[in-house]
Amino acid sequence: MQYAEELVREFLVFRGFTNTLQAFETERCTDIGKMFQVYKIVDLIFAVYIPKFHAEKLVGLFSFFKQCFSSWSETTMLDSFSKLEGSVLRCYIVHALQSGRKDKVVEFFGMNGNDLLLKGSDWTAWFAIPYVKNPSIDPQFRVYFSKEWYEALRLSVRNFFSEIFNARLPALLKISSEKNTISCLKKDNKRLNQKLLQLQALLEEKEAQLGLSKRSMGAANSSFQSSGIDGENLCPSSSSEDICAPATSYLGRIPQSEECAAAEPTKFASARVESSSRQDSYSASSLHASSGGIDDTAQKLYGSHFDGMYPKKNGLSNPECDLTENGREMLREEEFPEVSVEFQETFLGHTSPITRCRFSASGNNIASASVDGTVRIWTYDSSIPASRNATIYCGAEIMSLDWECKSDRLLLIGTADGGIKAWNVDAKRVVCDLNTTDAFPSVLDLKCSPVEPIFVSAASSRRLGPNSIDSLGYASLTVWNMKTWKAMTVLPLGEDPPAITSLCFNHNGKILAASATDGMIHMFDMSAGLQITGWPAHDSAISSLLFGPDETSIFSLGSDGKIFEWSLQNQGRVLWSKTSSWFSEPQTSKYCRHEMALDASGRQLLATSGSVRAPIYQVQGHSNGFKTLPHSAAITTVDWHPSLPIFLTGSADNSVRVTSIL
């Protein structure tokens, strides 16, 4: 009740109903019962509206109740309410005649006569009552003038409303009860998630033990073979084939990449996919790099070349750096089991490699862009109307996409020729076409504020070339007003600043983070328009930047594949790190700037890849992570659904996939 009263008070203050607020406060202070009081409704009807001839308010009150109770499923209750309403209106007419106010009766029929006739033929005779000389003794009306009928009516009204309001809470009070219910459900969900994490940790521990056993048997097999002993004779049965098989047999079992069906007239290809068993992801001849050091077997096999495969940053070793192709991809396949997939949709509407794909703020719509300057807006869910689906031709390569945070109506598009377009998905037209200065022709990133009607553009003095992200030149950060579509200010970066590659706002839009090609992270106070801090985060250019889920940390992705989670409470401290081994592929640099995305919980980080699969890292977790189902070419862009366990992967094979995981 207290919560509901606070809502009412807030609403009255917001609307400026000060007199009503004073009356509300006065009545609330004198309220003793703090609950439903039926007698006040009875008094309102029989002591105010009827004696004072407020016919319009009386009819309006019953119309209000009928609207409130329109969801009743019991026809008997609706019939009872209609009969009760008719009796109260007859009581009004009788009281007016007893008071000698026939004019009020005529006025009543003039306002409500048509509605009364529609309710039933039993009202027909009542239209003549003002002209009957003595209706109190007329057999047709006599009963309504008796005191017994009046008292019975009051009692019936009282009993009816008591039963209704004791069985049905007002919607305002339901808000509080539903809030408490949701709170309890969230606590239960949190408890179950904790239990699930414990079970997952236990499962991963058992899987690690199983993998160790397989590796031990594989090493023993190799020793026997080198000694001239047939290792196959040591296998207890044919069921142990996978354990005793050499590495080449495992590579032969790696699934072939799927073909892109671009020639099909249908733009979507759907598939229900079952993830492969985690046990199959371990091979007897795997090369394992643990947190304590490098496997001796791997050191012997690769010799001095192995040392350069584990780079260090700021004194931090990166033992997670995995091996890649040409005889080394096997370890990657083993370390990351294939993610369990509930469903997957493939969008085949593009004819060139994908550069960006983004979920809208609600997750209902998807925007995807390609090298040929085409943006497609579509949806993966058949239950969502396709009225917003559209194709936008921009005339230049798309470098950046971002949806308006407060709604799904506006999509911002940044191009390689300095253009910024605002597309209204409801009107299906470009509502604004902006251009950066000639000195900064490439719009590398765009970010809308989650609160204010502004966005920030990061433009560079050079376009992204085929060689390296480091050759983008200088940077310009411009703040734009989304109401006037004019530049408001340019954020200070110093003299000849290196290009800014990625932007992100915190939850209230007061802090903007920006990453640069010199490995720096810059933080800006948007209210003051000034840089408040910054620190060197990478030895290479930073490709992508994201605030952590609780905004006490920030994630950075370097062009060399290193991923760091930096503390914002203790600047310069690394909380978590990974190195993506499927990352740096020179042939894919012309298609994309590598990027990453966090899921809604902030525990799973998806990154782009130079291979046909993308890694999903478990942030601060017990396991390394998972791998996505394969495309037929490099994965160039990724994104997570804002609330569901669904992610996007765009590829150089011209396709975009929507994957829901278990």
Mean per-residue pLDDT, 296-303: 36
**Would you state the pLDDT for residue 284?**
31
Q: Which of 164-178, 401-415, 503-517 has the lowest mean pLDDT?
A: 164-178
Rounded CA separation 401/411 (Å):
7
Mean per-residue pLDDT, 257-269: 38
Spell out the domain ranges in the chain.
Answer: 37-168
**Would you state the pLDDT for residue 649?**
96
Q: Yes or no: say if 449 and 455 are a contact pair by the CB < 8 Å rule.
A: yes
For the beta carbon of residue 62, count every other beta carbon within 10 angstroms. Answer: 17
Higher pLDDT, 74 or 264: 74
**Would you state the pLDDT for residue 487?**
93
What percentage of the chain's residues is helix, strand, coil (to nearest 5)?
A: 35, 25, 40
Q: What's the per-residue H, E or C state across 390-414? A: EEEECCCCEEEEEECCCCCCEEEEE
Tokens 């407020």, residue?
54
Q: Yes or no: say if 607 and 596 are a contact pair by the CB < 8 Å rule.
A: yes
Two tokens, residue 627: 């791998």
pLDDT tens profile 472-483 = 788 999 999 998
3-state secondary structure of 583: coil
Mean per-residue pLDDT, 62-74: 70
**Would you state the pLDDT for residue 220?**
65
The pTM of this model reads: 0.53
First CA to last CA distance, the chain: 41
Rounded CA separation 630/329 (Å):
14
> Among residues of the chain, what percentage have pLDDT more than 90?
39
pLDDT at residue 330 tops 60: no
Two tokens, residue 65: 């109740």
Q: What are 439-443's contacts with CB under 8 Å, separation 24+?
A: 439/476, 440/474, 440/475, 440/476, 441/416, 441/417, 442/399, 442/416, 442/417, 442/418, 442/472, 443/399, 443/400, 443/414, 443/415, 443/416, 443/418, 443/419
Rounded CA separation 419/406 (Å):
23
Could you give the angle at which helices 2-15 and 171-226 cross, rounded to 10 degrees? 110
What is the DSSP track for 518-575? TSEEEEEETTTTEEEEEEE--SS-EEEEEE-TTSSEEEEEETTSEEEEEESSSTT-EE
Q: Rounded to an integer, what is the distance from CA 463 to the centroid of its chain?
A: 32
